[in-house]
Amino acid sequence: MRLPKYSLSADRVRRLMRIHRVTIRELAKRLGVSQAIVRQAREKGVADTWTAIDWEQEIVGEYSAKLRAIVKQRRAAEAEAAEAFIARRSHAG
């Protein structure tokens, strides 16, 4: 199963922050990161899927339907991969 990818472009980070009136300081506090990290995301975006999902949720305040679907698909795929790994290990030993 192919995992769905999700990322936030720098433009989207800035746009969401502006729309939802979230300051750099406030977002840094919500995420538990430095303000420099938030500034870097505003310049370069967020590429990692789980990180991008966390960032969007913290900016917006909730999961969108699209994010919920991506999370559900990724969790199912990761569980399937873990089960396959365990099955291979049990047959190898």
Is residue 73 in a domain?
A: yes
Which among 70, 26, 77, 24 is positioned nearest to 51, based on CA atoms?
A: 70
1 within domain boundaries: no
Q: Beta partners for 30?
A: none
pLDDT in tens, 74-88: 788 888 888 888 888
Q: Indicate the DSSP class of residue 48.
A: S
Domain that includes residue 25, residue range: 10-92
Instruction: Answer yes or no: is 4 within a domain.
Output: no
Other CB atoms within 10 Å distance of the CB of residue 27: 22
In a domain, 2, yes or no: no
> pTM (2 decimals)?
0.72
* pLDDT, position 43: 97
CA atoms within 13 A on the CB side of 39: 4
What is residue 62's predicted lDDT score, i.e. its pLDDT?
77
Residue 3 resides in a domain? no
- Residue 69 included in any domain: yes
Report if residue 5 sits inside a domain: no
* 56 phi/psi in degrees, rounded to 5: -65, -40
- Number of domains composing the chain: 1
